[in-house]
């Protein structure tokens, strides 16, 4: 029961963070859409955990913190917010890179997970 309550509390916190981030259309009116492609990696003999594509529309929240997919990771994840904000400022359409999870757990190694990402931003056409 306590695990379920913790999960509900965590989901409520994420919902509040999404709302606080605001809508893409309000924060970045020049953006028509964002596509984030990620490959999650973990330590071990089978390092590719999963591949994921996230489409962010102008009507969506400007929340770019992707959770860690490793079970038991506490306060982990991959915050793409600085990457995306820099891209918008510089009007960059494509960026690739890697991020390491900063989450903790006594059972997990500090470098337990990372992602390779590719962010594509479509900007509104200027008239």
- For residue 51, give the nearest of 116, 103, 127, 101 by alpha carbon: 116
Per-residue pLDDT tens digits for 45-98: 778 888 999 999 999 999 999 988 887 788 888 999 999 999 999 999 999 999
Q: Fill in the DSSP letter of residue 126.
A: P
Per-residue pLDDT tens digits for 38-53: 999 987 777 888 899 9
Map out the domains of the chain as residue ranges: 2-123
Q: Fill in the DSSP letter of residue 104.
A: B
């Amino acid at each position: 029961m306590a695990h379920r309550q913790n999960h509900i509390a965590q989901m409520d916190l994420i919902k509040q963070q999404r709302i606080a981030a605001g809508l893409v259309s309000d924060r970045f009116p020049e953006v028509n859409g964002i596509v984030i492609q990620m490959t999650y990696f973990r330590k071990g003999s089978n390092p590719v955990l999963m591949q994921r594509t996230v489409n962010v529309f102008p009507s969506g929240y400007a929340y770019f913190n992707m959770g860690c997919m490793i079970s038991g990771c506490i306060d982990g994840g991959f915050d793409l917010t600085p990457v995306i904000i820099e891209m918008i400022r510089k009007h960059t359409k494509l960026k690739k890179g890697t991020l390491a999870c900063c989450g903790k757990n006594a059972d997990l190694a500090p470098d337990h997970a990372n992602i390779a990402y590719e962010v594509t931003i479509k900007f509104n056409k200027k008239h």
